[in-house]
Each structure stands twice: as structure tokens, then as C-alpha cells.
Amino acid sequence: MSASVSTRRKPPRVGDTPVFRRTLIGIVLFLVAFVIVAPLIIIGVEAFAKGWAVYRDTIIHPDTQHAIMLTVLAALIAVPVNTVFGISAAWAITKFDFWGKRFLLVVIEIPFSVSPIVAGVAYLFVYGLQGLFGPLLDAWDIKILFAIPGIIIASMFVTAPFVARELIPLMQAQGRDLEEAATSLGASGWRTFFAVTLPNVKWALLYGVILCNARVMGEFGAVSVVSGNIRGQTNTLPLHIELLYHDYQAAGAFASASILALIAVFTIIAKVALERQGAGRVRKQANPAEKTS
Amino acid sequence: MKIRLENVVKTFETFRAVKDVSLDIESGELVALLGPSGSGKTTILRMVAGLEYSDGGTIHFGDQDATDIPVRDRGVGFVFQHYALFPHMTVADNIAFGMKVSKVKRDKAAIDARVADLLRLVRLEGLGDRFPAQISGGQRQRVALARALAVDPKVLLLDEPFGALDANVRRDLRRWLREIHSELGITTLFVTHDQEEALDLADRVVILKDGQIVQQGTPEKVCRDPQSAFVMRFLGDANVIAADVRDGRAYAGDVSVEASGVADGRAELYARPADLDWAQAGPGIAAKITRVLDRPDGRRVLAETQAGEALEFDVEPERILNAGETGFVTLRRAKVFAI
């Protein structure tokens, strides 16, 4: 009986004919291979096209080393700052009521929707010599544009929403009950945050931090406008890759690109691991009764 | 600890959640705030806790003015409707939390001993190592209570404590909470929209409507002597029959009940399903049975009067009645309220 059920030809559901299914899967697989997988493979192949020695030479070249150092430095500053910003913004938006809250929610998302190059140009107008604070900064001999501070500020702008965006929906879903309970039991604000709030959002927080980090390291548009592309001084890794490529040093460009690709792969692995922990989406309440409100 | 609310007011934007509420809660008393949703009962509870500040009036704990004391220092134990247990801590750590963050330092052994005591009190010995997600709803509610009691609160406040539990668990927990209360004697205020829960559990029931107290008293008092149609309706099923009041009696069909203090003219008779009965002959209110519902403890009869009023009442399980029969609804007792 059961065998006859499993071998019986099932009538197709809507849009579920074998031809349709195979065509759709075929198109998707083709596009994934062509658009995503092939370029990654090319990076690997081209990086070592002229042999291991050339690859090594590119990586240990002072300009490359400096670019890597600068990229890491930008991440080391921008990621913690944006993490603190993200936590503060998420906390303020989800735990307090204040005027302009909806507006703030929209503003936080702006870096996502605006092209990074627009941010770069905007910074030129704010900090550039002909810009708003340009003369003032020049008078005090503070260099922001075409220097490291500019790179860091531009990176921060582009990645500002990452942490906040991961935390806000989760903290909204969790509500204020836990914090109220902790406070009613006598806990201070700090204690409540570290003992109650943070442990309940830690996976989402880490998830946001990893995405933020990947974006800082890969940022090109905004940074390319404000950095000035001075080799060995204000070149981050993505800018360095472009420069090498325009110098017809394809192997060098690919070798440097392989570093970024490697970072991306680690990011993806970390992201998948974190998603298993429940980050990246609003966690289902462990307690079914808690859904009744 | 005696609690006194005087002329407490709370407004949310433009909505007046609580209007001029004054209430005394005696030391050791178990009081229920009962009302439909939007009646302001939870807001009052949260103001007593310090989770909301009142816009006017004062709240005294004993002789101390607690109106502006923040929740952290107010010394109340609050049990949340959805328990609000810390999901990343074990049951024991949840209970110990208040003692660990307290300004009064205790050593680990003292905390562990107190946690063990509380687990015994709430009958959850051996579950200290579990996480909240690994225990049942009723058990979580008991952990929440133990956690609130751990800090030796002056007052215990419970917000719809059994609202999220199924009926059998609720009934058990209710009796059990009553036992804990008599054991500890702590002043307790709880919020519920379930009249049965309020009447089962409380020494005194405070009934709220639209941010105001409409009646308060012992369960016996509010049940036997509801002072408004709202209270009558809210406390349980009630039949409403149009009546005329003349000289202190209310007449409906060819029956009448005493209605002293009600002005002459049109009025409404309110009667519980158990206050009505069915007879083949009058005197009574002529009616026709529309349906009979069978229940484990009797039969619920739905009938319609000639005026079109729907009535519900209960008869003994042995009574043979069928839909379509005509006869008379008789009245054992009823309350009369002017319209």
C-alpha cells in the first residue's frame, strides 16, 4: 500500500511541471556559476598565474603591506566605533520613547541607500580646502582629507547601519520586560545592560560586527574619493588593487584581490555559523506562551 | 507594608489611563485589581512598582512617600505577565539575580542557601540547573515568583500572573499562591481581567472601569451586592430583563422583585443564570425555549421572551426540556438598576 503511494505518479502542482522545474534550476545554476563562482576562481588562478614567487613578492611589497595595514587600521577603528554606535542606537530606539524616533530610524538607514561615492563627495565639501571646515582645519593644520582620518570617517559612514540594523528588530521583538525585571530586582543600568540585554543579543551583535567589518575592509567608493590614492600612504587594499590593475600589473592585482576574497570567505563561514546560533533573524521565542500577548 | 494611593492620575499622550484613583491596601492584604482591558489596572500596578511615574497624586509605602522613588530602590517584587525570566540564565541564577546585584552584599554560600529555600518554597527542588526554555509555563511562573521574593520585597506585585497558562494549571497555581501568601504574609497586589481568579484568590477585589474604581470589597460583598449594572455584568453571566419600577418594586411580566432605592420608571432586572428557573405554569415571564445545551453539571437553557429578550439559565441534569417548548421563566432573585 505504502509502496504504491510512493511510486504513484503525482499530478504536478501549480508551476511544478518537470520542464519548468528543470529550466528554473538550470537558469539559477548557470547564473551562479557565471556571475559568482567563475570570477572567484579567476582570482585564484590569476593570482598564481605567474607563480608563487610573484604572488609572494606582491604580498610582501611595502605598498601592499601598507595597504593591508591601512585597511586593518580602518577596520580596527571604524568597527568598534560603529559597534558602540549601533548598540546605543538600538538601545535608544527600542527601550526609550522620544521625539524624532521614527526619523532616527530612517536616517540610520541612509548609508545603505545612498551610493558610497556620494558620501565621499559630501565629505569633500565638508572637510575639503574649499569646504565648510576646510579653512579652519587648514589653519589648525589638521589633515582629514587625503589622509588616514578621512579614510576612517568615510568607512564609518558607509558601515554605520550594520550593527544597529541587526539589533533593532531583535531588541524590538524582545521588548522591555527583561530590563524592567532586572531593574525591579535592583540592578543598575550598566548591570542590566551587561548582565541581561547584551547576552540576549550577543549573536546578532557579532553578526552585525562581522558584516560591518567585511564592508569596511572592502569599501571602495567613498574611500577612493577622500583618500587621494597616495601609494604607500593613503591606499587601502581595494584602492591598491585598482591601482595595480591600472598599472597593468594583473598578477599583483589578483594577488591582492585574493586577500580580500579570503576575508570574504571567512566572513561567509562566520556568518553561516552565527546564523545557526539564531543571529541574523528575529529569534523565535523559546517559550510559546510568550507569544500570546 | 501598607500602601496608600491618593488621587493618582496617569495620562498617556492624550489617553487618561488612570483618573484620580485612591486606594488603601492594608499590610498583609491580598488585593485584586479587576477590570476589562483598558481599565487602567496594569498602569496602576506599574505605578505602584515605579515602572511608571504618576502624573498626579501620591503613593505611600507605610509612612514613606514612594511616589518618586525609582523602581530600583522601591523594594517591590514584580511578577510579569510573561514571566520575563532571563533566558540565558539557569533557574537558580534567575532567582539569585536580585541578591547578586543588591547593594546588600551576600556571600555565595548565603545566596545558594536562599536559592535552595526559595526553590523549595515554590516546589521546584532539583530544577535549579534548568534553563527557562526547558521548563513548563506553570513552572516558569513559579520561578518568576521565587525571583521576585528573593529580594525580600516590601510588596509583591503580579501582573496577570496566570494569564498565559491553561485552565487547570491556573487553578492549581491560584490555590498555591494563596498558600504562599498566608505563609509569608506579604502585602500583595495583583492584576487580572478574570473575575473568577480575582474572587478565588483575593481578600479584597477592586473593580476598575475606564481608569476609575467602580466598586471594591470582599469577594462576598461584591458578588452579593454589586452596585452597578457594569459590576453585575462584569462579575459573571447576567440576564437582562426590561422592567418597570413602581413604589419600590420592579415588575416584569407578572413577576416582581424588590427594588428599593430605584426611581420609578423604566429599569433593568439583572439575574444570574442560577437565579432563573423554568415552569409550565405562571406566574413568570412567558418565554419559548430556543436551545438546550448539555454540560457536565447541568443543562443550560436558552430561551426567548415574548419581547424578544434572550435569557439563559441552568436546570438540573434530569429535567426533560426541548427546544420549542413554551412556558414561564421564574425568578428566584434579581438586582434592579435604573437605565
- Chain B residues touching residue A178 (CB < 8 angstroms): 84, 86
Distance CA B305, CA B55 (A): 49
Where is pLDDT greater, at B81 or A288? Answer: B81
Q: What is the mean pLDDT of residues A12-21?
A: 75
Question: So where are chain A's domains?
Answer: 12-47, 52-285
B167 vs B132 pLDDT, higher one? B132
Cα within 13 Å of Cα(B228), Cβ side: 10
In this predicted model, which residue has the larger pLDDT, A57 or B222?
Answer: B222
Minimal Cβ distance to B97: which of A180, A185, A200: A185
Higher-confidence residue of B14 and A198: namely: A198
CB atoms within 10 A of CB A97: 7
Host H or E run for residue B326: strand B326-331
pLDDT of residue B108: 92
Of B81, B98, B164, which is closest to A185 when you measure between CB atoms?
B98
Say whether A286 and B132 touch across the interface (CB within 8 A).
yes
d(Cα A160, Cα A172) in Å, to the nearest integer? 19
Nearest to A287 among B71, B132, B163 (CB): B132
Cβ distance B87 to A286 less than 8 Å, yes or no, reads: yes
Q: With 90 as the cut, is the pLDDT of residue B220 above it?
A: yes
> B58-63 — which CB contacts under 8 Å span 24+ positions?
B58/B4, B58/B5, B58/B6, B58/B7, B58/B8, B59/B3, B59/B4, B59/B5, B59/B6, B59/B8, B60/B2, B60/B3, B60/B4, B60/B5, B60/B6, B61/B1, B61/B2, B61/B3, B61/B154, B61/B155, B62/B1, B62/B2, B62/B154
Confidence category of residue A234, pLDDT binned at 50, 70, 90: confident
> Which of B106, B170, B176, B104 is closest to B146 using CA atoms?
B176
- A191 CB neighbours in chain B (<8 A) are 101
Residue among B101, B106, B114, B158 with most chain A CBs within 10 A, to mutate: B101
pLDDT digits (tens, 9 = 90+) for A120-178: 888 888 887 777 777 777 778 777 778 888 899 999 999 999 999 999 999 998 888 99
Domain ranges of chain B: 3-231, 237-338
pLDDT at B69: 92
B135 close contact with A: CB closer than 8 A: no
pLDDT tens digits along A55-105? 888 888 888 899 999 999 999 999 999 999 999 999 999 888 888 888 988
Closest chain B residue to A284, measured at CA: B133
Q: Is the pLDDT of residue A289 over 80?
A: no
Q: What is the DSSP letter of B275?
A: G
Q: Measured between CB atoms, which of B70, B88, B101 is closest to A199?
A: B88
Q: Average the pLDDT over B139-167 and give the result.
A: 91
Cell of A93: 530606539
- Name the pairing type of β-strands B265-271 and B326-331: unpaired
pLDDT of A18 > 60? The answer is yes
CATH 2.70.98.10: does it fit domain B3-231?
no
**Which contiguous run of DSSP H or E holds residue B286?**
strand B285-295
What value does the mean pLDDT take over residues B136-153? 93
Across B299-323, b (16+ Cβ under 10 Å) vs e yields: bbbebebeeebebbbbbeeeeeeee
**Cis ω before B283 (30° cut-off from 0):** yes
- What's the grid cell of residue B175? 490555590
Distance from CA of B291 to the nearest CA of A (A): 34
Across all residues in chain B, what is the average pLDDT? Answer: 91
Alpha helices (H) along chain B: 41-49, 71-74, 91-101, 108-121, 137-149, 167-184, 195-201, 219-224, 229-235
pTM (two decimals): 0.80
Q: Scan residues 26-55 of B and list those with Cβ closer than 8 Å to A.
A: 49-51
B102: contact with A, CB 8 A cutoff: yes
What's the rounded Cα separation, in Å, for the pair B146 and B95?
Answer: 6
Q: Which three cell numbers stand for residue A63?
A: 605598498
- Domain B237-338 top-level CATH class: mainly beta
pLDDT at res. A293 = 33
CATH class of A52-285: mainly alpha
Q: Answer yes or no: is pLDDT of A288 > 70.
A: no
For B49, the closest of A177, A184, A293 (CB atoms) is: A184
Read off the pLDDT band of B213 (50, 70, 90).
Answer: very high
Q: pLDDT of A218-227, one tens digit each?
A: 898 888 888 8
Looking at residue A291, what is its pLDDT?
35
- The band of B142, judged by pLDDT with boundaries at 50, 70 and 90, is very high
ipTM: 0.84
A205 versus A18: which is more confidently predicted? A205
Percent of all residues in chain A with a pLDDT value above 70, rounded to a whole number: 89
Chain A residues touching residue B132 (CB < 8 angstroms)? 286-287
Q: Is B125 helix (H, G, I), strand (E, B) or coil?
A: coil
pLDDT band at A6 (very low <50, low <70, confident <90, very high): low
